[in-house]
Amino acid sequence: SIDQYWNSQFEKIRKEIAIDKYFTKEKEKFSSSSDLEEWKTYKEDLYSKLIKQQNYKTVN
Q: What is the mean pLDDT of each run of 10 residues along the chain (60 residues)?
A: 86 82 78 71 81 59
pLDDT at 48 (0 to 100): 82
pLDDT at 41 (0 to 100): 85
Contact 23, 11 (CB under 8 A): no
pLDDT at 60 (0 to 100): 44
| Other CB atoms within 10 A of residue 15 CB | 16
Q: How many domains does the chain have?
A: 1
| Full domain range(s) for residue 9 | 2-59
pLDDT at 36 (0 to 100): 74
Question: Mapping DSSP to helix (H, G, I), strand (E, B) and coil, where does residue 1 land?
Answer: coil
